Amino acid sequence: MCEHVARLEVLKYANLKQNKRIIIFFFFCVASLCFFFFCFCFAAVYVFLWTSVAIQFLAAMEVFEVEVVSDAQPFYASSYFILPLSVVLLYLTFKLLWRPRLPPGPRPWPIVGNLPSIAPVRFRCFMEWAERYGPIISVWMGSNLNVVVSNAELAREVLKDKDQAVASRQLTRAAARFSRNGQDLIWADYGPHYVKVRKLCTLELFTPKRLEALRSIREEEVAAMVNSIYQDCLIADDKALSVKRYLSAVAFNNITRIAFGKRFVNDEGKIDPQGVEFKEVIAQGMRLGASLKLSEHIPFLRWLYPLQEEEFAKHGARRDSLTKTIMQEHAIARERSGASKQHFVDALLSLQQQYSLSETTVIGLLWDMITAGMDTTAISAEWAMAELIRNPRVQKKAQEEIDRVIGQDRVVSETDFPDLPYLQCVAKEALRLHPPTPLMLPHKASEDVKIGGYDIPKGTTVHVNVYAIARDPSIWKDPLTFRPERFLEEDIDIKGHDYRLLPFGAGRRVCPGAQLGLNMVELMLARLLHHFSWAPPTGVDPHEINMTERPGVVTFMAKPLEALATPRLPENLYQNIKFIPE
Ligand code: HEM
């Protein structure tokens, strides 16, 4: 009995399912018929209208004569209105029905998009998603579409084939305030202003001649760093040193001297009032930039996080006033001596008229150099040192090369680099595994463009995950191993010509300071390795060094590197530098 009831239940259920299918099928047929009927009517009216207008036009051109029936006159007249209306309607229908074929990616939530599932270290998260969804992915940050590419072929397509279409910048509200709506270089959209200032950078600021003229600055600064480490070693030789502290100081002094012609710190390590103000301006800028993050992506949250207009204005005024004072000092010095110096501030002041640069642009460019050139170089050198301490074999091999070429009675100079190929490979390998800007800077599509066969709508933010590409096992043998020899086996360009390795980006927006950055990093490494032997703090195994990254646009080490330094050269090579104000 029970079995019989159960069978009836099953049959009832099967019937219900069958009925449901028939209803859906019927509904689908009716919907399709309606749709085709609608399309047919639409097309018929459309063809009829166009034909009538064409006839009128040809008649007006006297190609042939048309006997106009008086009854049709109102219809012809109304076609003048109906026609544009139908074109607009057709356009709207097309816009409504057409969906761009976007790259795949994790399913977004309403309003917040993928924000809740993006891990703090974004480039690692995007690398994992690329493994799951493919080398080109869509990531929704609130209502903003971001497209991330993670292989060398797509990087080439973005940075070479479609370069111009994606060479603009996505400006956050903070970046817009800092750059006065892109009147500088870094945040300028691709256009006449960008082309002008970029040309100025290439032809005037970063020329081999100017870099050579500024070499003495870089060499003095690393000598000061070596002296400072040496002094600290003398105080306590078994105390672990914070490597980041020395590298940040040398990067700060290098960049402020190269760009502003100023050493704000005296030879005893004391910072002057202008230097204090300088550091305050940088710190305040970072605070203001960080205060807006979430609301950047969810427009309706902006009322909760209104832009601190007053704070931004104050910060801008403070930065301008400090920069103008320094610019005036240089202008007076130039008038007095009649000669211009090589620092960027002097170059910009003497070229201001020739390139018709506004004062805002000059100030913007000077600060771009600080923003782009300071942390990137310190970060690269810190990661390289961490890898050298984790890999004593590589450290020893690099030291042997330096000892062989330089010896023990002089210090390394940048002019020695061509004779130090292994050292250059160490720098390249560190930049491969730890690019300081792993997603480069965000590019923006200034028009609809196709990438990897997908539709990328105008306004999309485009990122190249150079971190993921440099660890791609289909390109690199043992990608996670720190092995500088790979660059001796194959000479791979690092400055934007080989899409497997792009720490400086490539194409129109490639880093203009790449050579300067490389020189600074290689010089820091050369002196650190020549003057000292490096080991982990007592009791720490080299492989226990924390190699994870801190979240952010640039990748500081999550835990700043600490290490023991042991001097290895005669005492006279650690002398302090006497800095004469410039
Ligand atoms: C190891 C050091 C450095 C690395 C790894 C590095 C990397 C980069 C990257 C990836 C970009 C973005 C490229 C893009 O958006 O497509 C960039 C842009 C830029 N870098 Fe560097 N950089 C370094 C050092 C420097 C230095 C020393 C300076 C100048 C003093 C500098 C000035 C700039 C400027 C002005 C831009 C903006 C270019 C533009 O938007 O057209 N960089 N850099």
What percentage of the chain exceeds 70 in pLDDT? 87
Instruction: Give the amino acid at 174.
Output: A
Q: Write down the pLDDT at residue 83.
A: 65
Q: Write down the pLDDT at residue 68.
A: 54
pTM: 0.84
Helices (H), 391-451: 392-406, 421-433
Instruction: Give the amino acid at 53.
Output: V
Quote the mean pLDDT of the chain.
89
Q: What is the pLDDT of residues 370-388, one digit of tens each?
A: 999 999 999 999 999 999 9
Q: What is residue 138's three-state secondary structure?
A: strand
Q: How confident is the model at residue 8 (pLDDT cuts 50, 70, 90)?
A: very low
Residue 467, pLDDT > 80, answer: yes
**Cβ density class 71-89: b for 16+ within 10 Å, e for less:** eeeeeeeebeebeeebeee
Q: Ligand 1 site: residues with CB under 6 angstroms?
A: 185-186, 198, 368-369, 372-373, 376-377, 380, 436-437, 440-441, 503-505, 509-513, 516-517, 521
Element (H, E) at 464: strand 461-464
Written as six digits, the tokens of 385 are 């040192």
Name every residue whose Cβ is closer than 8 Å to that of residue 202 and which is 6 or more positions away in sequence.
Answer: 512
Contact by Cβ (8 Å): 298, 142: yes
Name every residue whose Cβ is closer than 8 Å to that of residue 133 and which is 6 or more positions away in sequence.
Answer: 103, 104, 105, 106
Q: Write down the pLDDT at residue 77.
A: 57
Question: Ligand 1: which of 511, 525, 553 to mutate, most ligand atoms within 8 Å of CB?
Answer: 511
The protein residue with its alpha carbon nearest to ligand 1, atom 36, reads 511
In the predicted model, what is the mean pLDDT of residues 396-402?
98
How far does residue 42's CA lie from ligand 1's centre (Å)? 55
Q: What is residue 137's three-state secondary structure?
A: strand
The protein residue with its alpha carbon nearest to ligand 1, atom 26, reads 373
Q: Write down the pLDDT at residue 2.
A: 43
The protein residue with its alpha carbon nearest to ligand 1, atom 21, reads 511
The ligand 1 atom at the shortest distance from the C-alpha of residue 159 is 16
Residue 69, pLDDT > 60, answer: no
How far does residue 62's CA lie from ligand 1's centre (Å)? 64
How far does residue 194's CA lie from ligand 1's centre (Å)? 15
Count of alpha carbons within 13 angstroms of residue 34, beta-carbon side: 6
Residue 403, pLDDT > 60, answer: yes
How far does residue 525's CA lie from ligand 1's centre (Å)? 20
Q: How far apart are CA 351 and CA 361, in angstroms?
A: 12
The ligand 1 atom at the shortest distance from the C-alpha of residue 440 is 10
Written as six digits, the tokens of 509 are 């927006």
Name every residue whose Cβ is closer than 8 Å to that of residue 371 and which is 6 or more positions away in sequence.
Answer: 186
Q: Write down the pLDDT at residue 430.
A: 98
Higher pLDDT, 175 or 196: 196
Q: How far apart are CA 439 and CA 505, in angstroms?
A: 9
Q: Write down the pLDDT at residue 145.
A: 97
Integer angstrom CA distances of residue 519 from 82, 218, 256, 419, 422: 68, 9, 16, 14, 15
Q: What is the pLDDT of residues 404-460, one digit of tens each?
A: 999 999 999 999 999 999 999 999 999 999 999 999 999 999 999 999 999 999 999
Tell which residue, 442, 260, 286, has the closest CA to residue 363. 260
Interface confidence (ipTM) of the complex = 0.99
Q: Write down the pLDDT at residue 11.
A: 45
Q: What is the pLDDT of residues 514-554, one digit of tens each?
A: 999 999 999 999 999 999 999 999 999 999 999 999 999 99
Q: Write down the pLDDT at residue 297.
A: 78
Tell which residue, 204, 207, 226, has the closest CA to residue 215. 207
Residue 7, pLDDT > 70, answer: no
Q: How confident is the model at residue 581 (pLDDT cuts 50, 70, 90)?
A: low
Residue 577 pairs with which residues in a beta bridge?
Answer: none
Q: How confident is the model at residue 80 (pLDDT cuts 50, 70, 90)?
A: low
Name every residue whose Cβ is closer than 8 Å to that of residue 550 and which is 6 or more positions away in sequence.
Answer: 121, 556, 557, 558
Q: How large is the angle between the packed helices 359-390 and 514-531, nearest 10 degrees?
A: 40
Q: How confident is the model at residue 43 (pLDDT cuts 50, 70, 90)?
A: confident
Q: How far apart are CA 383 and CA 547, in angstroms?
A: 8
Tell which residue, 229, 244, 242, 236, has the closest CA to residue 533. 229
Higher pLDDT, 83 or 103: 103
What is the four-CA torsion angle of 124, 129, 134, 140, rounded to 10 degrees? -110
Q: Write down the pLDDT at residue 30.
A: 76
What phi and psi values does residue 478 have, to the nearest 5 degrees? 40, 65
CA 324 to chain CA mean position, Å = 29
Q: How far apart are CA 427 and CA 525, in angstroms?
A: 8
Q: Write down the pLDDT at residue 81.
A: 61
Q: Write down the pLDDT at residue 356.
A: 95
Name every residue whose Cβ is closer than 8 Å to that of residue 517 and which is 6 or more positions away in sequence.
Answer: 373, 376, 377, 380, 504, 511
In the predicted model, what is the mean pLDDT of residues 31-48?
72
How far does residue 501's CA lie from ligand 1's centre (Å)? 15
Task: Give the E-state strand segments of 186-292 in sequence order.
Answer: 241-242
Query: For 8-17, 45-54, 196-205, which range has the lowest pLDDT when averaged over its residues?
Result: 8-17
Residue 3, pLDDT > 50, answer: no
Q: How confident is the model at residue 342 (pLDDT cuts 50, 70, 90)?
A: confident
Q: How confident is the model at residue 323 (pLDDT cuts 50, 70, 90)?
A: very high
Element (H, E) at 521: helix 514-531
What percentage of the chain exceeds 90 in pLDDT? 71
In the predicted model, what is the mean pLDDT of residues 225-237?
92
How far does residue 365's CA lie from ligand 1's centre (Å)? 12
Q: Write down the pLDDT at residue 236.
A: 80
Residue 572, pLDDT > 80, answer: yes
How far does residue 548's CA lie from ligand 1's centre (Å)? 23
